[in-house]
Structure 1
Amino acid sequence: SKMPAPVVQANTCTPEHAAMGHCKMPTPAQARQPVQPAAKTAPKPAAAQANTCTPEHEAMGHCQMPAPAPQPALKPAAAQADTCTPEHEAMGHCKSASTPTIPVSDGSASEDIPMPFPGAMHMADDPFLSKVMINRFEIVDSDEGDKPVVLEAEAWFGKDLNKLWLKADVERVGSETEEARLQLLYSHAIAPYWDIQAGIRKDFKPVQREWATVGVKGLAPYFFDVDAALFVGEGGKTAATLSGEYELMLSQKTAVIPELSLNLYGQDDPETGVGSGLSNANLSLRLQHEFKREFAPYIGVTWNKLFGGTADYAREAGKATRDTQVMMGIQAWF
């Protein structure tokens, strides 16, 4: 059998390239040999080099760790539709994902926020609360030329049904205190907006005396604030006071407040200059503006008239039995 002819690769060297020394032309003997194309073999893929880089070597800069393959992003779970209806939630079968809330206030917020409904107020348990109120702190210009300074203040401490009240009334003319008294009262709620109060009263000026007292305080129909008290003192002395006021709102912060107060005594008392029966009546009218709910200045006018034996004692002392006064003051609470 014949041996296969050796495979000779075709020479592509041109005379120009051979002259420049880039290649070598074949000899005449080589040029006469048959030329067969060399068999082509598919290149083998290079084996992937094992990564021997450790985190310690990478930290020292000797090598570099391969980047981790990116992880597919997690798709957010579809929000579950809220299928809880108000009827089912009221029966306790489910709970709504979002229940709207209504802001409420106890009246001290500067915004116009409503009071909580009675159910919410009942669920607030019965916390211990306190409040201090300056009902009147004013300077008065009277017909007699005096300029007395008057203070009427109250404070209470306690819970919803039971409270301890302090009431103070002071009137000064110049550097002298004309009237001063203090009351310590226990207050118990007997009906919505109504309290019964009982305690003691101490008079410091013009005469020192002690009284036992019982009274009621509350909000009458048509929003009249009423305060009535009966006093029993030493030697069978008795007295009673009755006052009422109404707040007529002209705007959210401005009000006109008329107030009427009466004082009665069971017997004549020459030491203090009061007679039995109706002693005096006081009618005042104030224009008040709230810059804040806790602070409200006011101006006003007061008419005062003495009756019966009290008027007789005033005439004997050379004093008028009626007086018109202009006042200016503030009302505050905290």
Structure 2
Amino acid sequence: MLHGGRTESVQQAQDALDSATAKLQALQNGPTGDILQADQSAVASDKAALASAQAAYAALGGANAANLQNAQSQVDSMQAQLTTAQAQLDSANAALTNLTGSSASDLQAAQSAYDQAASQLQSAQAALQQNMHPTQAAIAQAESAHAQARAGAQQAQANQTALEKSVSGACASSPPSPRNGDACNSAKAAADGAVQAANSAVDAVQGQLDLLKRGGSPAQQAQAQSTVDQAQAQVKSARAKLDALSSGGIDAQRAQLQAQLRQAQGQVIQAQQNQGVAQANLAAVTNGNLDAQAKSAASQVTAATERLKSDQARLDVLN
């Protein structure tokens, strides 16, 4: 025989049923305006934080890259000087070793070697001049990139100004749609980050244009000059041997070549010392505080990105 439940148990069951029914109805009706607005504001705030972190990382990365580039250029320049000095030393050694009595065939070979060395010098000098004076097409392309970057910066500035004047975007206000203060502030922060990033892009493109007009980086200029120096050393050596064979002054030429050899040895030692100093400077920059700061800024960008993904996913579910 069935008996009715206790009054308290029946009431508890009824309350649980009413609560579940209310939750089901809320899910069917969708999120309230307050919840949706709060999640939208969170996403806007996350975007602003990400833009700020990216701008900080770009600024720090640019400074770090500039210091690293300068140190690396110094190493490359010293390496080019060392290469030139070593080439002069090798040339002096070869000239001294090959200094012998003259014959018709020796004289002809010396003349051919000199002509070839002179031709290589002309080619190296032409390449250096071309590097120092870039073509108008290359300059026009760099100037076009600079103009595009400036246009982007101007657009970012215009967006920021419109938000500051409350005439567009999240900061605009009208009777049916009052302005949301949190969303407006988040939009302004994002616009500030966009302006900073656009200005950094303009500076970077301007630097590339200036570098092109100066004839390339210091390392490129040093390499081109090193090629010319090596070619000049070869011409000098070939000319000395040709003159010695033509005049028959072997003893005098040997003394001159020995003096050139001692000078070249001293230049190699000095170039090696300069290269050691440049490499030490590069190591100091690579292992310095800027590298740690750049890594910290990168981690902040990653964290801001993850927060934005999480809040955006929650907003997508509500929508």
Provide the TM-score with structure 2 as the length reference: 0.20
* Larger helix proportion of the pair: 2
* Larger strand proportion of the pair: 1
Query: Which of 1 and 2 has greater Rg?
Result: 1
Tell me which of the two structures has the higher relative contact order, counting C-alpha pairs closer than 8 angstroms and 6 or more residues apart.
2
Provide the TM-score with structure 1 as the length reference: 0.19
